[in-house]
């Protein structure tokens, strides 16, 4: 709008006219229906308006403290406002203040404007601002230049005064600051050069350049010979003087990514956060580096270090945390606590963490394994056993057993567990100390790291630093206490366990059938019918009961028991639970393929026991214990699993499911080892009963399925899947189990290099399997013998002619978990597609359709958590191949594709042409420019291939080319010209290279 129209609009707004009437009277060009639908008869209450006079706003990137700034990052502004006096009523909706609505409005305003309305820009609510930005033009390009000379002894400043033509002379005030202190300030008269620009040079020094933290420029303008000069623009730029870099070498797989203590309590809506918090990898310790230019002004670092040390000695007021019990918060409280603990652990990787918790058990250990980095240091104090079978004793047993199961992970860290004498430990603390033993931070917890406390809220109170010194003294006193008071239960580096005396064995001996079992197991008839004290006395008399009993007994005694029992007449389930308890206590296991595989009565009995387990009701006392296995796995299709990042090792941790007994555990082990076909048939039936989402009544069923899955996954990961197990999986009616079979089959193909093994699969699955293998072996080295053999095998097995669905299915099978063609380039187009096109087995139009859809998806808007990527060999290759296929396709197909590009380009135009787009949302504006450049690149590639084949460029293609170029060049070529690597650089370089190739072709034609 020009000045007169803008003035008319403002006057009408201030007089209380409606937007509908203003639109009509001033000819703003808005559709009446649109205005009416969106805003109705919105108007300002003119009795409550206040005029706020002109104010100078510094540029937004100056980050002024406590005041508003210009809406543009690089340009200051002059702003006057029309202010509503009833601002508080703006948040008053339907008789009340609505916090959710307010949060939504703030989020949307921040996103649309780039301002921070919840912070310094709060005063802007309800204002109509009239802003002039003198130092940028209509395309938001800067009209001023401030730069150091090459020798850093001078600063050159220039101004193009097109936005303030009323001034004929200018003065520049340049200031340089260090650590908030003014070091340099100079005022100079600017001289006009032949281009009409005003410029001057400030003489500084290299020493000043080396310590400059920020540079500011104020521009004053005057008219004629008047003495007065008026401030026109304020600008400040901060320099990056320090960077803290952290490099972590990331491995390709996670060792511990299942955590039932957390997963069993959350809702499906939290799945993204759960996946993030559980994504741990066995990485090396991060490498840290500080890049700084502070040597010239080391006083800044000294003073900051002083502040850091002083804040520890004289800390500020701390904040606590409160987490609701999981039952009433649907798992939110537990998830928040896990996030809190993971953040605490990861921010203190170089410090030592000590936990005081009388009931610390396996749930707390899992938190440590999940959250800590390798080489981290943990010390845990918990209560030693109390009475036989009580909570503390059972928790300690579970804790030490979890240490044993996770021995490999534990050895990567320093974890020491100490048992404190009964009654000596009550409160729960977390203490963080540095390498010198000085306190960093500490917390008091209202509850323990144990499952039994999940129905109580958890309060975490920070412990002040001065009190932490007393806690450290307490810790040191415990470490120096006698063994009678404190015993060293576990050391992760040596994996040494301190024997914990408890009533575990006596609890086992209380069973009515344990005497019968041990009499056959140990070949001691005198034990038959005994239990409890009578049994232990008899064992001692026979010299069988000692400190290591029953750990040291021979597990093959199981065969003796089976041989002595007529399973056709005796119900094995009567004994199996106690047999499982005995097996869980033995150091080695009883495995004999020939014996067990041929013992059908034993296997049939286990099948019956497993069927009964699936139908067992969940124990009400363990109602809180829910399965970690999501039922969604068993409802996924084979194509979905093949294109996911799920892998067998995600399920292969050798830990018993919490709702299952040791009898259940060994039942699944023996059935998978010796009768996998019957086991898979049972699973096929049971998964049919599962709902897609977790429901509580499926707890036992999911626990058993999870245990079976762990057994299957372990054999696959270890490469120990036998032919009978493989056959069972491949012939399963459930696609999840079939996928496990594919994973096992893959290991056989790779280890043997025998592609004939693929014939094991049905003919319609063979090409999909080969495509899947091609993708999984393409990342190692694309010219390896196996990769080339797989590609050759694929071409031999594919039909002579592939229609679009067949081609798409084949291509999809090779995309892997990234599900994008770009991550399969360049080999997928060069080694798979091109031979098919050359042999006329695939139509160009069908191939073009697939690559075109991929390219359009790459150009679509990205979510706020993802970024657009462009790599010459990936996305660049997709663009190249899409253009090549497009030029070889029919005219009708070409027009259809161009319409899609035009649609995408229109969206980018709306973003780029929005007022102050670069400052309101720079990322969105920058992304729109990149998309425009990308479409320009595609059009350039199309012209290149048309030139190669001496084809004319269509009018529609040239229109797309011109529109994309016009939008992309809102950013000048000098700004596009790359300074390094990244999407901007690679896009620009590739477009420039293609343009040069076209010029070469055209010059050759002219010659």
What is the pLDDT at residue 526?
A: 87
- Name the 3-class secondary structure at 74: coil
pLDDT of 315 above 80: no
Together in a domain, 400 and 433 = yes
What is the pLDDT at residue 163?
A: 93
Together in a domain, 618 and 744 = yes
The band of 444, judged by pLDDT with boundaries at 50, 70 and 90, is very high
Chain segment 520-536, per-residue pLDDT in tens: 998 888 888 888 888 88
Chain segment 218-263, per-residue pLDDT in tens: 999 998 878 899 999 999 999 998 888 877 666 555 444 666 667 6
Q: How far is the CA of 826 from the CAs of 54, 697, 844, in angstroms? A: 59, 49, 18
The band of 134, judged by pLDDT with boundaries at 50, 70 and 90, is very high
Chain segment 375-421, per-residue pLDDT in tens: 889 999 888 865 555 555 677 888 888 887 777 778 888 899 988 87
Together in a domain, 885 and 1000 = yes
Together in a domain, 475 and 537 = no
Work out the average pLDDT over 677-684: 96
What is the pLDDT at residue 503?
A: 46
Together in a domain, 552 and 434 = no
| 269 domain residue, yes or no | no
Residues 419, 385: Cα–Cα separation, whole Å? 8
The band of 624, judged by pLDDT with boundaries at 50, 70 and 90, is very low
Spell out the SS3 assignment of 610-659.
Answer: HHHHHCCCCCHHHCCCCCCCCHHHHHCCHHHHHCCCCCHHHHCCCCCCCC
Residue that terminates a domain, selected from 471, 497, 523? 497
pLDDT of 751 above 80: yes
Residue that terminates a domain, selected from 562, 589, 616? 589
| 151 domain residue, yes or no | yes
The band of 86, judged by pLDDT with boundaries at 50, 70 and 90, is confident
Which residues contact residue 675 at a Cβ distance below 8 angstroms, ignoring those fewer than 6 apart? 597, 603, 606, 607
The band of 625, judged by pLDDT with boundaries at 50, 70 and 90, is very low
Together in a domain, 444 and 523 = no
The band of 501, judged by pLDDT with boundaries at 50, 70 and 90, is very low
Together in a domain, 101 and 170 = no
What is the pLDDT at residue 437?
A: 78
Q: What percent of the chain has pLDDT over 90?
A: 43
Q: Which of 387-401, 915-929, 986-1000 has the lowest mean pLDDT?
A: 387-401
The parent domain of residue 881 ranges over 764-1006
Together in a domain, 772 and 858 = yes
What is the pLDDT at residue 24?
A: 81
Burial 513-546 (b: 16+ CB within 10 A, else e): ebbbbbbbbbebeebeebbeeebbebbeeeebbe
pLDDT of 563 above 60: yes
| 396 domain residue, yes or no | yes
Domain containing residue 240: CATH number: 2.60.40.10
The band of 424, judged by pLDDT with boundaries at 50, 70 and 90, is confident
Mean pLDDT of the chain: 85
Residues 351, 346: Cα–Cα separation, whole Å? 10
Work out the average pLDDT over 623-651: 82
The band of 308, judged by pLDDT with boundaries at 50, 70 and 90, is confident
What is the pLDDT at residue 326?
A: 63
Radius of gyration of the chain (CA): 37
What is the pLDDT at residue 250?
A: 60
| 49 domain residue, yes or no | yes
Q: Name the range with the highest mean pLDDT among 32-46, 347-361, 932-946.
A: 932-946
- Name the 3-class secondary structure at 13: helix
DSSP assignment string, 196-256: S-EEEEEE--HHHHHH-SEEEEEEEEE-TT-S--EEEEEEEEE---EEEEEE----SS-S-
Terminal CA-to-CA distance of the chain, rounded, Å? 52
What is the pLDDT at residue 920?
A: 84
Residues 741, 976: Cα–Cα separation, whole Å? 51
Together in a domain, 599 and 720 = yes
Residue that terminates a domain, selected from 497, 530, 553? 497
Give the predicted TM-score (pTM) of the model.
Answer: 0.69
What is the pLDDT at residue 658?
A: 77
Chain segment 781-840, per-residue pLDDT in tens: 555 888 999 999 999 999 999 999 999 999 999 998 888 999 999 999 999 999 999 999
What is the pLDDT at residue 865?
A: 58
pLDDT of 31 above 90: no
The band of 362, judged by pLDDT with boundaries at 50, 70 and 90, is confident
pLDDT of 937 above 90: yes
Chain segment 384-393, per-residue pLDDT in tens: 865 555 555 6
For tokens 């989020």, the residue is: 107
What is the pLDDT at residue 205?
A: 94
Number of domains in the chain: 6
Together in a domain, 739 and 823 = no
| 264 domain residue, yes or no | no
| 274 domain residue, yes or no | no
Q: Name the range with the highest mean pLDDT among 444-453, 731-740, 974-983.
A: 731-740
What is the pLDDT at residue 1006?
A: 59
| 254 domain residue, yes or no | no
Q: Which of 22-26, 910-914, 937-941 has the lowest mean pLDDT?
A: 22-26
Pairing of strands 428-433, 414-420: unpaired
Together in a domain, 470 and 516 = no
| 855 domain residue, yes or no | yes
Together in a domain, 380 and 486 = yes
> Which tops the pLDDT comparison, 27 or 765?
765
DSSP 133: -
Q: Which long-range contacts (CB under 8 A, 24 or more apart) does 24-29 make?
A: 28/1
CB 608 within 8 A of CB 573: yes
């Amino acid at each position: 709008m020009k000045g007169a129209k803008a003035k008319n609009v403002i006057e009408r707004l201030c007089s209380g006219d409606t937007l509908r009437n203003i639109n009509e009277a001033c000819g703003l060009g808005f559709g009446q229906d649109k205005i009416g639908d969106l805003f109705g008869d919105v108007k300002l209450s003119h009795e409550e308006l206040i005029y706020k006079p002109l104010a100078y706003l510094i540029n937004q990137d100056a980050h002024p403290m406590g005041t508003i700034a210009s809406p543009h990052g690089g340009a200051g502004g002059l702003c006057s406002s029309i202010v509503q006096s009833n601002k508080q009523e703006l948040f008053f909706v339907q008789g009340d203040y609505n916090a959710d609505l307010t949060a939504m409005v703030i989020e949307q305003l921040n996103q649309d404007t780039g301002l921070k309305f919840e912070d310094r820009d709060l005063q802007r609510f309800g204002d109509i601002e009239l802003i002039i930005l003198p130092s940028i033009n209509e395309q938001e390009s800067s009209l001023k230049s401030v730069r150091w000379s090459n020798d850093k002894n001078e600063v050159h400043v220039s101004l193009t005064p097109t936005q303030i033509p009323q001034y004929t002379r200018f003065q520049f005030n340049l200031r340089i600051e260090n650590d908030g202190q003014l070091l340099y300030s100079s005022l100079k008269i600017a001289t006009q050069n032949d281009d009409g620009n005003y410029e001057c040079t400030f003489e500084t020094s290299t020493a000043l350049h080396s310590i400059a933290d920020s540079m500011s420029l104020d521009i004053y303008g005057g008219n004629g010979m008047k003495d007065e000069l008026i401030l026109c623009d304020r600008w400040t730029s901060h320099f990056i003087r320090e960077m803290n870099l952290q490099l972590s070498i990331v491995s390709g797989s996670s060792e511990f990514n299942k955590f039932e203590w957390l997963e069993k309590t959350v809702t499906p809506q939290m799945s993204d956060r759960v996946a993030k918090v559980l994504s741990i990898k066995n990485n090396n310790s991060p490498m840290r580096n500080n890049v700084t230019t502070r040597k010239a002004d080391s006083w800044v670092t000294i003073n900051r270090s002083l502040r850091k040390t002083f804040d520890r000695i004289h800390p500020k007021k701390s904040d606590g945390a409160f987490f609701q019990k999981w039952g009433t918060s649907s798992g939110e409280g537990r998830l928040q606590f896990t996030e809190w603990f993971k953040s605490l652990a990861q921010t203190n990787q170089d410090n030592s963490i000590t936990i005081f918790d009388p009931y610390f058990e396996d749930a707390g250990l899992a938190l440590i394994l999940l959250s800590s980095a390798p080489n981290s240091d943990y010390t845990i104090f918990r209560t030693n056993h109390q009475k036989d079978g009580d909570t503390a004793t059972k928790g300690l047993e579970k804790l030490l057993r979890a240490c044993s199961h996770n021995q490999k992970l534990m050895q990567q860290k320093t974890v020491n567990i100490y048992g404190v004498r009964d009654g000596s430990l009550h409160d729960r603390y977390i203490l963080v100390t540095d390498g010198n033993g000085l306190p960093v931070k500490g917390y008091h917890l209202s509850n323990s790291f144990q499952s039994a406390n999940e129905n109580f809220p958890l309060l975490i109170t920070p412990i002040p630093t001065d009190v932490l010194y007393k806690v450290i003294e307490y810790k040191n006193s415990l470490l120096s206490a006698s063994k009678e008071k404190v015993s060293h239960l576990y050391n992760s580096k040596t994996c040494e366990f301190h024997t914990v005396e408890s009533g575990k064995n006596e609890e086992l001996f209380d069973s009515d059938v344990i005497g019968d079992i041990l009499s056959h197991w140990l070949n001691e008839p005198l034990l038959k019918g005994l239990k409890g004290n009578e049994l232990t006395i008899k064992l001692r008399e026979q010299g069988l009961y000692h400190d290591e009993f029953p750990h040291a007994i021979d597990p093959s005694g199981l065969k003796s028991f089976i041989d002595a029992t007529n399973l056709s007449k005796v119900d094995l389930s009567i004994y199996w639970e106690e047999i499982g308890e005995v097996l869980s206590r033995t150091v080695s296991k009883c495995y004999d393929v020939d014996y067990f595989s041929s013992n059908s009565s034993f296997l049939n009995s286990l099948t019956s026991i497993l069927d009964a387990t699936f139908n067992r009701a969940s124990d009400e006392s363990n109602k809180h214990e829910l399965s970690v296995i999501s039922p969604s796995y068993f409802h996924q299709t084979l194509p979905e699993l093949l294109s996911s990042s799920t892998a067998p090792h995600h399920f292969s941790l050798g830990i018993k499911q919490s709702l299952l007994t040791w009898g259940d555990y060994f039942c699944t082990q023996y059935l998978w080892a010796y009768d996998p076909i019957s086991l898979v048939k049972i699973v096929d039936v049971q998964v049919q009963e599962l709902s897609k989402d977790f429901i509580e009544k499926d707890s036992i069923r999911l626990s058993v399925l999870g245990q079976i899955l762990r057994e299957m996954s372990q054999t696959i990961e270890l490469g120990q899947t036998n032919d009978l197990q493989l056959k069972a999986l491949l012939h399963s009616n459930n696609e999840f189990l079939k996928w496990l079979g594919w994973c096992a089959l893959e290991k056989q193909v790779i280890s043997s290099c025998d592609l004939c093994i693929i014939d094991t699969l049905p003919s319609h699955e063979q090409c999909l399997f080969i495509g899947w293998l091609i993708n999984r072996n393409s990342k190692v080295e694309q010219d390896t013998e196996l990769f080339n053999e797989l590609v050759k095998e694929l071409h031999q097995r594919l039909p002579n002619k592939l229609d679009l669905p067949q081609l798409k299915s084949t291509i999809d099978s090779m995309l892997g978990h990234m599900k994008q063609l770009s991550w399969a380039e360049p080999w997928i187009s060069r080694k798979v597609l091109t031979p098919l096109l050359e042999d006329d087995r695939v139509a160009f139009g069908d191939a073009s359709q697939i690559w075109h859809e991929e390219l359009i998806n790459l150009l679509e808007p990205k979510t706020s958590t993802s970024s657009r990527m462009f790599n010459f060999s990936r996305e660049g290759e997709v663009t190249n191949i899409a253009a090549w296929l497009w030029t070889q396709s029919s005219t009708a197909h070409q027009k259809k594709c161009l319409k899609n590009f035009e649609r995408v380009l229109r969206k980018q135009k709306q973003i780029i042409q929005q007022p102050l787009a670069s400052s309101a949302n720079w990322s969105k504006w920058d992304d729109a420019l990149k998309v425009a450049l990308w479409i320009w690149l595609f059009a350039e590639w199309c012209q290149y291939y048309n030139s190669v084949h001496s084809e004319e460029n269509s009018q529609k293609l040239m229109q797309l080319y011109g529109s994309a170029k016009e939008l992309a060049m809102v950013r000048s070529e000098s700004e596009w010209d790359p300074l390094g690597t990244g999407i901007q650089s690679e896009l620009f370089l590739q477009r420039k290279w293609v343009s040069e190739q076209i010029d070469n072709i055209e010059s050759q034609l002219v010659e």
